[in-house]
């Protein structure tokens, strides 16, 4: 059993960096744009509606503040790790070199949940904005082609249904990613510029149409919402905290930055910069937009079974429609439809790099580690991900996807706070281009807040996520442990020298 705690030697990471087939084409600002590309969109264009209706009401801004504070602690820990281990794999790679294989596997398995569910959530939201975009030109897709079966049947319909736009957009993004990271990064930079401009427009233009009565009461009285036969508590102070838990995955962007370390030109300096810069910029934008949105539109209007059933999928655009400013809604719809593509792009890209790192170590099949020498991307890896993500996104409600994504994110952040502290104690002399100030305090706060937010996720999300982790343990002991490169002497004498304690000197001489 003790073998499950073996650590990947630092020399192995150095070897991985030297022989990596990934192309180092990302600079400081491209990495920052990747972070913003993932963060801006997932929260503003997707979760503002679900967070306001299901959890916090107008106090959604406070939920973003709480989530942002929790992220700061984790982001600082990520930044220190990234300055030590500039490799793809994010928190998984960090844990493997510090606290051991089983710990790394649990984190990696959680990250798979985080990125896969996050990609699906964004794909479903993109479908909502795309459907609205088509309506602008007088085109209407039938409900059974834009709605998952559970929501479709809950509305009293019968027969087959699927979210076809969500299915197709995933395949489109995969086709872009297969062409190479440099091209994808250029496309992302352009889309990020468009998105940030649109968000600033929302903040400025929306401020003129705020109805302060929509903010009263700012924290609605606690109640129970029943939907699809499932009831859960909402609003009140507990709802604000639950809202922070639910929208937490919106901040996954800075984690996505760390997954691209293997393609960064100067990863030890640029990755920490991009992590912190993207978090600060996006947290401020989130708070401002959530205040404007809940001021323009009453939080109860985001009910997916109410008067505006698509508002929860495209909340920002519908807020302008309800305010009687259809022209602004058109601008937002176009920007969001294009902008969410970059979110999906970064999430799938991050997921594929985590698979790449885990496959290199033998914990998942080797097919995920094969990199196309011409494009410098893991082709089979991306194709398999695209098929799975597109199918699940077309058949699953957005709220379930968002909550499970948040669990994966919170879990990974908690583990990173633990691992960076462990490494500081065990390897104090490692070169660190960035060091977390007052690490014991920061790590403890990060662990405490993230665990508290996990506890405040919906019971369904907790059960599904724990079931996911249980499946992960089964896979580890049935497959991963047996095929692990580390377990099978894949790092030779260097591995033995770093893992085994030094022999005690002969004191009888």
pLDDT per residue as tens digits for the range 440-473:
999 999 899 888 888 877 777 788 888 888 999 9
The pLDDT score that the predictor gives to residue 202 is: 86
The pLDDT score that the predictor gives to residue 434 is: 80
Assess contact for 166 and 390: CB atoms under 8 A. Answer: yes
Q: How confident is the model at residue 283 (pLDDT cuts 50, 70, 90)?
A: confident
Secondary element (H or E) of residue 224: strand 223-227
pLDDT of 189 > 80? The answer is: no
Is residue 509 in some structural domain? no
Collect all residues with Cβ–Cβ distance below 8 Å to 135 and sequence separation of at least 6.
none
18-29 average pLDDT score: 71
Q: How confident is the model at residue 170 (pLDDT cuts 50, 70, 90)?
A: very high
Is residue 358 in some structural domain? yes
**Closest CA relative to residue 382, chosen from 393, 372, 392, 391:** 372
Assess contact for 254 and 34: CB atoms under 8 A. Answer: no
Token representation of residue 331: 């601008």
Is residue 504 in some structural domain? no
Rounded Cα distance, 273 and 225, in Å: 42
Is residue 349 in some structural domain? yes
What is the end-to-end Cα distance of the chain in Å, rounded?
36
270-280 average pLDDT score: 83
Helix axes 267-296, 60-84, angle to 10 degrees: 170
Rounded Cα distance, 127 and 168, in Å: 9
The 3-state DSSP class for residue 61 equals helix
Q: For residue 27, which phi and psi values (nearest 5 degrees)?
A: -95, -175
Rounded Cα distance, 465 and 470, in Å: 9
Secondary element (H or E) of residue 425: helix 398-426
Rounded Cα distance, 291 and 61, in Å: 6
* Owning domain of residue 122: 2-497
Is residue 503 in some structural domain? no
Say which residue, 214 or 321, is predicted with more confidence.
214
Partnered with residue 26 across adjacent β-strands are 264
- What's the predicted TM-score (pTM) here? 0.72
User: What's 80's domain CATH number?
Assistant: 1.20.1740.10
Domain count, the chain: 1
User: Other C-beta atoms within 10 Å of 276: how many?
Assistant: 20
pLDDT per residue as tens digits for the range 370-427:
888 887 788 888 999 899 999 988 887 766 666 666 777 788 788 888 888 888 888 8
Token representation of residue 191: 């889309």
The pLDDT score that the predictor gives to residue 155 is: 75
The string of DSSP letters for 242-254 reads HHHHHTGGGGGHH
Q: How confident is the model at residue 46 (pLDDT cuts 50, 70, 90)?
A: low
260-282 average pLDDT score: 79
The pLDDT score that the predictor gives to residue 143 is: 84
- Output the average pLDDT for the chain: 80
Helix axes 326-360, 315-322, angle to 10 degrees: 170
pLDDT of 368 > 60? The answer is: yes
Is residue 505 in some structural domain? no
326-349 average pLDDT score: 82
The pLDDT score that the predictor gives to residue 271 is: 78
């Amino acid at each position: 059993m003790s073998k499950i705690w073996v650590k990947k030697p630092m020399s192995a990471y150095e070897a991985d960096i030297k022989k990596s087939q990934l192309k180092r084409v990302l600079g400081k600002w491209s990495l920052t744009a990747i972070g913003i590309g993932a963060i801006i969109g997932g929260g503003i264009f997707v979760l503002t509606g679900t967070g306001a209706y299901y959890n916090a009401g107008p106090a959604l801004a406070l939920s973003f503040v709480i989530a942002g504070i929790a992220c700061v602690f984790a982001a600082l820990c990520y930044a220190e790790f990234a300055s030590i281990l500039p490799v793809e794999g994010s928190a998984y790679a960090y844990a493997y070199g510090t606290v051991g294989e089983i710990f790394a596997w649990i984190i990696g398995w959680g990250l798979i949940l985080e990125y896969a569910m996050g990609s699906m959530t964004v794909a479903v939201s993109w479908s909502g904005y795309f459907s609205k975009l088509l309506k602008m030109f007088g085109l209407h897709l039938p409900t059974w082609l834009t709605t998952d079966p559970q929501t479709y049947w809950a509305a009293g319909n019968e027969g087959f249904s699927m979210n076809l736009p969500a299915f197709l957009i995933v395949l489109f993004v995969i086709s872009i990613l297969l062409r190479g990271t440099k091209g994808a990064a250029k496309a992302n930079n352009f889309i990020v510029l468009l998105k940030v401009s649109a968000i600033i427009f929302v903040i400025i233009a929306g401020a003129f149409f705020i109805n302060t009565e929509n903010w009263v009461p700012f924290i609605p009285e606690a109640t129970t919402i029943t939907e699809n036969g499932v009831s859960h508590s909402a609003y009140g102070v507990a709802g604000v905290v639950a809202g922070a838990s639910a929208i937490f995955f919106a901040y996954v962007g800075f984690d996505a930055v760390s997954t691209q370390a293997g393609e960064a030109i100067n990863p030890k300096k640029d990755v920490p910069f991009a992590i912190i810069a993207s978090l600060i910029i996006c947290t401020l934008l989130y708070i401002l937009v959530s205040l404007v949105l809940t001021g323009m539109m009453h939080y109860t209007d985001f009910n997916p079974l109410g008067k505006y059933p698509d508002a929860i999928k495209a909340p920002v655009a519908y807020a302008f429609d309800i305010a009687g400013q259809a022209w602004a809604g058109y601008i937002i719809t176009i920007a969001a439809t294009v902008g969410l593509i970059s979110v999906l792009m970064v999430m799938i890209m991050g997921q594929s790099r985590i698979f790449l790192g885990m496959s290199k170590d033998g914990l998942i099949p080797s097919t995920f580690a094969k990199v196309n020498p011409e494009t410098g991307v893991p082709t089979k890896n991306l194709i398999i991900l695209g098929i799975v993500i597109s199918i699940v996104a077309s058949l699953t409600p957005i709220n379930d996807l968002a909550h499970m994504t948040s669990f994966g994110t919170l879990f990974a952040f908690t583990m990173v706070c633990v691992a960076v502290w462990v490494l500081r104690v065990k390897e104090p002399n490692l070169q660190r281009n960035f060091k977390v100030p007052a690490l014991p305090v920061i790590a403890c706060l990060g662990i405490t807040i993230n665990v508290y937010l996990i506890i405040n996720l919906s019971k369904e999300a907790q059960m599904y996520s724990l079931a996911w982790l249980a499946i992960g343990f089964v896979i580890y002991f049935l497959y991963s442990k047996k095929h692990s490169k580390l377990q099978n002497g894949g790092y030779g004498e260097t591995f033995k020298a770093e893992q085994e304690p030094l022999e005690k000197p002969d004191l009888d001489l």
